[in-house]
Amino acid sequence: MEIIREVNEMHNRIMMLKQKQKKIGFVPTMGFFHDGHLQLMKKAKEENDIVVASVFVNPLQFGPNEDFDRYPRNEADDISKAEHVGVDLLFIPTVNEMYPQKMKITMTINDRIDVLCGKARPGHFDGVITVVTKLFHIIQPNQVYFGMKDAQQVAVVDALIHDLNFPITLIGLPTVREEDGLAKSSRNVNLSSRERNEASWLYKALKHGHHLVVDGEYNPAIIIKEINNIISDNTEGVIDYLEVLSYPELKPVSHMKQQVIIAIAVQFERARLIDNLLLSDDGHIIRFWKQGETK
Ligand code: AMP
């Protein structure tokens, strides 16, 4: 595995691969790898000639009171894990390398962001589309791999690829979970041991919501109320949002007989956790999402 820290060097490397007509799969991340990240890289390895992963904690997507400074980092461990799963090129730029000067162009997304994390974290997805656009230009991937744990991010990148005509296929892969159902996240290390136990209720509550749908309850208000009760009864976390929306459009729905996402964010003392379930129009859980195929 090659470690590349400079944009120019990555560009040159990619030009060589393109000349050889190599198919490039790309996995953008903020590092502190866990199995969720590694599954994306493994899938990219199966489906492409070359896998590029990036580790970059992007300041643009953090709000002023968010956890940029205490976002967990461990470069040496990331390098050894990426190498182990067969990543070919690991791109680890500094903030100065990605943003040598204040950006003269700003990017704003206007749709799919007035809900969920977009509403709770103003400017977050503008930062995401900015860094993702830069990374797409630097790496020029054929296929990109994102986790459905961040389903709104997938919906936003779907809009970006579509609106700006990137010749890239977007693939959303299933959420990787701990044994008790908690979605793996770099931020889980910031949970206290009591919160860590409570955190498994996010997934349990979402599954309960799913069971209600399977049993014929299609009213989103009732599903939301039931999930809300489970979280409040079993955790000291504060629900930041809990919404049922169409996917990937992320519009409110009054009836659940369509492709919907049930998405939740819960704020614990030092970590804000998110999770979701994507359901098909007949109430089945959708784990994989490929641009153009599941809409
Ligand atoms: P992050 O480093 O948190 O920005 O995540 C990088 C990529 O890994 C994003 O596409 C995430 O959606 C994905 N990811 C993070 N956690 C998980 C997980 N538990 N299961 C699957 N994918 C994940």
pLDDT digits (tens, 9 = 90+) for 61-70: 999 989 899 9
Q: What is the pLDDT of residues 189-198, one digit of tens each?
A: 999 999 999 9
CATH 3.40.50.620 placement within the chain: 2-173
Distance (Å) from CA 19 to ligand 1 centroid: 31
The closest-lying atom of ligand 1 relative to the alpha carbon of residue 186 is: 3
Distance (Å) from CA 186 to ligand 1 centroid: 8
Mutate to test the pocket of ligand 1, among 35, 38, 40, 145 (most ligand atoms within 8 A of CB): 40
Q: What is the pLDDT of residues 124-173, one digit of tens each?
A: 999 999 999 999 999 999 999 999 999 999 999 999 999 999 999 999 99
CATH 3.30.1300.10 placement within the chain: 186-284
Determine whether 37 is an active site residue.
yes
CATH of domain 2-173: 3.40.50.620
Per the prediction, the chain carries an average pLDDT of 96
Q: Which of 37, 210, 255, 284 is catalytic?
A: 37
> Once rounded to an integer, what is the mean pLDDT over residues 89-113?
97
CATH of domain 186-284: 3.30.1300.10
Its pTM stands at 0.97
For residue 54, is pLDDT > 70?
A: yes
Measuring from each residue's beta carbon to the nearest atom of ligand 1, which residues come in under 6 Å? 29-30, 36-37, 40, 146-147, 149-150, 173, 175-176, 183-186
For residue 295, is pLDDT > 70?
A: no
Residues of the chain above pLDDT 90, percent = 97
Mutate to test the pocket of ligand 1, among 26, 27, 29 (most ligand atoms within 8 A of CB): 29
Give the pLDDT score at 291. 76
- On the CB side of 197, CA atoms within 13 Å amount to 4
